[in-house]
Amino acid sequence: MESIWDSIAYSKDYVRENYWSRLENQAVFQALLSHIGEPEGKQIIEVGSGSGLLSVALAKLGATCTLLDISALSLKNAVANFVNAGLPQPMYYHEDALSSSVPSEMFDVVWNAGVLEHFFDDGKERLILEMLRMAKPGGMVIILVPNAWCWQLQISKALMKVLKMWKVGFQDNMSPRRLKRVCAHIQVTNTTTYAFDVVHGWHWIPFGKRITKLTHLETLELHRKRSWMGATSVLTIQKKNDEH
């Protein structure tokens, strides 16, 4: 898996200007803020940090951000993104998210986006429990994944696999309902799940993004809109004060 993420560490999609020009990324950031609240003064770790650009944005709002990633190249790029933004170099871990040396109960928020779906079910469960371990009592775990009920994404992924154009390896997209079931299986409670972004799925089909622009659907409000078939599923877990 490390080689896959090394290969896309410097993708044009991870260039800061390109990244923030995309409304779907702005919508993800707004979704994060809706659960985090005011970031200032909070200890936040991104488990599977990729470009780190969302963590950079949180750090600009006063959070102390830590990164963890299995890809050395991704971490190098993410740290550079902090420095280039005029921020101090963050603490980071070049480790496997399923078995890391990150201290327990250290963070107010433990989160990631586009990570959980790359594991089989046992790995998904281990990752959720690891993230919960890192969170302080009363802290929050936030996980965002592609939604299996977004039909445009599912069709596009199947076609890309047939044409051998799929580059990110195993990806098991998950609906909000399935996220809930995985948590129930490992007896993790105090969860909420939902999906959002009714526009981004159309970007996966030919001329889809052009169509959304011509029909004036390419707005941040619609990217943020909740829908069972939105492109992104969200799981939040509020860690109980007596949970270890």
Contact between residue 55 and residue 85 where contact means Cβ atoms under 8 Å apart:
no
Phi, psi values for residue 219, rounded to 5°? -125, 150
Write down the pLDDT at residue 165.
Answer: 85
Please count the residues of the chain: 244
Residue 71 structure tokens: 């890809």
Task: Report the distance separating Cα 86 and Cα 91, nearest Å.
Answer: 15
Mapping DSSP to helix (H, G, I), strand (E, B) and coil, where does residue 158 land?
helix
pLDDT at 241: 80
- Quick one: pLDDT at residue 124? 98
pLDDT of residue 227: 97
pLDDT block averages, 10 residues each, the chain of length 244: 62 84 97 98 97 97 97 94 97 97 98 97 98 98 98 93 86 97 97 97 92 95 97 96 68
108 with 83: CB under 8 angstroms?
Answer: no
CA distance 48 to 142: 12
- Return the pLDDT at 126: 98
* Mean pLDDT, the chain, whole residue set: 94
pLDDT at 7: 62
Strand extents, DSSP E, 32-106: 43-47, 64-69, 91-94
User: Cβ-count burial of 225 within 10 angstroms (0-12 exposed, 13-18 middle, 19+ buried)?
Assistant: middle
pLDDT of residue 5: 60
What is the per-residue pLDDT for 144? 98
Task: State the chain's maximal CA–CA distance in angstroms.
Answer: 52
Structural domains for the chain: 2-238 (3.40.50.150)
Q: What is the pLDDT of residues 96-107, one digit of tens each?
A: 999 999 999 999
- Name the burial class of residue 38, with classes exposed (0-12), middle (13-18) and buried (19+) by CB atoms within 10 angstroms of its CB: exposed
pLDDT at 168: 81
* Res 10: pLDDT: 66
pLDDT of residue 242: 72
Helices (H), 85-200: 121-134, 151-162, 176-185
